[in-house]
Structure 1
Amino acid sequence: MPPNTTQTADAPTGSIGTEHPPQSDDRFPVPPVEFRDDEDRRVSIHSVGASDFDALAAMYDDFGPESRAQRIPPADERRRHDWLETLLAEGWDVAAYHEGRPVGHATLVPIEESAAELAIFVAPGYQLAGIGSRLLRTLLGYGRAHGVERVWLTVDRTNRVALNLYRSVGFEAVGGGAEREMEIEL
């Protein structure tokens, strides 16, 4: 699967991969999306790409140990930058913005022809305000618009907030030990 290749007029940067913006639906919209979170903050979600690296890197620089899941984002700055660079080059990425800076990032990384692995992060101070849910749904719409048919993820069995989020969107458990494997067909 090719990574994102073109840019929408409404997105600050990034790309979509088609000549015309893909169609949206209520369950899994495509970016751009605007809403007010549960704290009444105006939030927008846009597709992002390599040109958004610095802003996303700054967001991840503020993540402490409590904000990391399965050792990502990496704690070491060099490794974290390499990780983010790879995501932005190989996958489909969306970010949530508040007051011009990213407060959440979600990515789909291709794992086979029409399947991708998901990762999602919301900055401390913006968690549990409905941003993760909107970010996840928008990412799934964005991926589906680019030919992704199945999305897979792993999550720690003790991460109840994430498990509930994934279930609410339609992910189902497909296996796992200490980490639960989940997937959704789009």
Structure 2
Amino acid sequence: MASGTDSRPQLPRPSKSFVDREERHVTVREYTGGAAPLVEMYGHFDTDSRSQGVPPRQEHRVRTWVDDLLQDGLNVVARHGETVVGHAVLIPYDETSELAIFVRPAYQAAGIGTQLIRCLLGLGQANGLSHVWLSVSRSNRIAMNLYRSAGFEITLRDRGEYEMERAL
């Protein structure tokens, strides 16, 4: 965590409210609730909205996957009213954490992903994390731009994916 002698800037912490590019009031908060609202959100992801095999396609697999994320990770959600419209998680992995982020298709390209990732990184920093990484499909330019804007840099180039990382 950032301290008075630490030169790292303090990242924003959830809870955050903002108006997205579509003029919708959205809140981002740490999430410690049950799987059902997330499973419902992931039910709206079609083939074009999936990358690297996630979210899974079948509801029972989505539920198992979400249960694991909630048990093992630091989670934040974005809500428009009572509807979950985004989810981001930091999953412990060796001495770092892997970042994953998802925005409900009807809410993409409205700035919600940017707010989710910033608040998630702040939550990670507040919980003592110093480093995060992610993998992204090379063809997912929108995600690549989001990650770069959040301070991630490419560290590994593979045939179909990039690995990116950043310090907190």
**What is the TM-score with the length of structure 2 in the denominator?**
0.91
Deviation at 1:135?
A: 0.4
Counterpart of 2:109 in structure 1 is 128
Deviation at 1:27?
A: 6.7
Distance of 1:161 and 1:153 partners within structure 2: 15
Contact in 2 for aligned 1:172/1:182 (Cα 8 Å):
yes
Contact in 1 for aligned 2:17/2:27 (Cα 8 Å):
yes
Deviations 1:60-119 (A, max 9, x none): 111111111101000021111111000000000000000111100000000124x10000
CA RMSD between the two structures: 1.4
**What is the TM-score with the length of structure 1 in the denominator?**
0.83
Distance of 2:80 and 2:114 partners within structure 1: 15
- Paired residue total: 160
Question: What letter corresponds to residue 86 of structure 2 in structure 1?
Answer: G
Counterpart check, 1:84 vs 2:79: no
Alignment map for 1:141-160 (pairs within 5 Å): 141-160=122-141
Counterpart of 1:60 in structure 2 is 42
Could you tell me which of 147, 160, 175 is aligned with 2:156?
A: 175
Counterpart of 1:40 in structure 2 is 23
Deviations 1:13-45 (A, max 9, x none): xxxxxxxxxxxx987211110000011100000
Structure 1: 5+ residue stretches without partners: 1-24
Counterpart check, 1:106 vs 2:85: no
Counterpart of 1:162 in structure 2 is 143
Structure 1 segments of 4 or more deviating over 3 A? Answer: none
Contact in 2 for aligned 1:67/1:124 (Cα 8 Å):
yes
Structure 2: 5+ residue stretches without partners: 1-7
Identity of aligned residues (%): 46
Question: What letter corresponds to residue 78 of structure 2 in structure 1?
Answer: A
